[in-house]
Chains A and B, each alone.
Chain A
Amino acid sequence: MLLAEVREACFGGDGPAVQGATLKAQIGERTLNAEQLGPGQFAFELPDLEPGSHRLTLKVEARGFVFVPRAVTVERRSAWRIWADSQIVAANGTPLDITIRIARDVGARGARVTALVGDQQVALRELADGRYGVVLEEGLLPGLKTVHVRAELPGPAGIEVLDHAIPIYVEPRGWIEVPTRIEAGAGEPVTLEARVRDRMGRVVKGAGLPVAVVVGAELLTMQEDDTSRVYRLSFVPPPGDSRFYFIGLEGIYERRVVSLQAR
């Protein structure tokens, strides 16, 4: 909405409002009539104005007055928007780069940007052209996550706050650390233990990954111990020479094979 006032010219300052005036605006080939709000006060509704800069010529008619057309430049801006330039997909155990862009016509400068990643609050550093980023060196546990971004943009009317949620998928990657030797006598139960390590060699803790063992024709799921973070499985192996294949059902883990040694 564009507000305008029509007043008499007066030496040394504004004169009184002009009674009975009509106000029109010329935008390119279009002519818009202003709505009168009060004596000498008008408003133009410009809902369909394309984003960008527009030149308006205001023309007034009122009995007994001569008016000089007034040129006004109106700039229409789209709303501020936050987004990630691409899907954020990472592997667990590798640094996670969260970079977002805040812009409307141009990138936002001087914003204070924070992100909530799980229960971790981090600040994003301003890069260039409205981009803000942070690198989480430790990465995240595997799975689909949501990063909640908040940007506080300084503006003429105060701080404008924008919130946005960005999905991130952390692929389970790494390897399964298996026992070097498994022994059991005939008919005795065995307990298999394994750890999952990420690509940096760190033990992945608390992810509850679906680690399983192929035993003969069967598939047995290991369970992560809440305290030791060891994946464990106890069972009585079948008779005969058995080989156990440790696999991850999600993500990319190299299959590991361990043979059972008879005791």
Chain B
Amino acid sequence: MWCRCKRAEAGSTAAALTLGAILAATATPVAVQTGVAIAPFRMFKVELDGDLAEWEDVTAITLDSSSYLLTAATRYEGNADLSGTVHFIWDTTHLYVAGRFADDSVARGAAWTSDRVNLVFDLHNNNHPLSYGGQPPDAARWQADDHWVYAHVFGDGEPPYPVMRMSYDYHGPITGARLVSTRRADGWAFELQVPWSELPEAQPFVGAVLGMQVFVSDGDGLPLLTEVMWSERWGYSLDAGLSWELWKMGKLVLTGEALTGGARRDRNGSDRVR
């Protein structure tokens, strides 16, 4: 009943692999569910500098050609056009997100046709197929715990670029949120932090389960976007754009501290801050 279809499996590959060490004695195979991302508790000081080296050990979800393509297939040219990974960690004050994407044409600006990272939250994880009468709701009908957090990777002018939130009663920049993005040879990378206090209804604790969907918008300098979604396919049309099918969510689970116990060392050899 709760299984998700095969196409979502790529998104949890990294999570499943990390279980190998502690599951060595397990008699039956166990893996995290597909469509489930984890955010470990922050085990190092997050420097928002666009360098993702410190995120390497953090489980990631994948968005690529095996994910859900929302827009026309004719405009998507495969993983070199758009594919990447997104990591999450958390502490009691912030949610941190980082990602690295291959993109053969980076589109700047804050227009709706530029490259964008999108996170959609159902913080209480209580949306279901009959929520909103089974019809994609306009933003004015969203519940108080539903939020769309998005950021144009390379916005207008000089950085920092704003991180935005759309909720039922608000659409604008998130106070205290930060985005740092960098160009890479094959695309771009980003790090962002969002204060929990600016996400109404957020209650972060170990074991919290948040409904979450992730999609990435690729401008390619064209009037029309390519958009790839993580764990489900939402409706999309040229005329109306994205259908906000807020019940088609994956999960983000806030987990505890690292299994390794002691302080980790970063690549410069200094102790990471817990």
Contact = CB atoms under 8 A, between A and B. Distances in A.
A189 B38 contact: no
B24 A218 contact: no
B28 A223 contact: yes
Interface stretch (A44-52, A121-129, A208-216): A208-216
B255 interface: yes
A87 interface: yes
Contacts of A245: 206-207, 256
A255 interface: yes
- Chain B contact residues, majority secondary structure: loop
B243 interface: no
A143 B1 contact: yes
A212 B130 contact: no
B26 A234 contact: yes
Nearest to A144: B129
B100 to A, nearest CB: 20
B261 A240 contact: yes
Contact of B1 (A208, A212, A237): A208
A236 B31 CA distance: 14
B238 interface: no
Contacts of B260: 238
A9 interface: no
Contacts of B251: 249
Most chain B CB within a 10 A radius of its CB, from A143, A144, A216, A223: A216
B41 A220 contact: no
A143 B130 CA distance: 11
A212 B129 CA distance: 22
Contacts of B259: 215-218, 238
B28 A234 contact: yes
A89 B23 contact: no
Interface string B5-33: 00000000001001100111111101111
A243 B256 CA distance: 9
A99 to B, nearest CB: 16
A220 B28 CA distance: 12
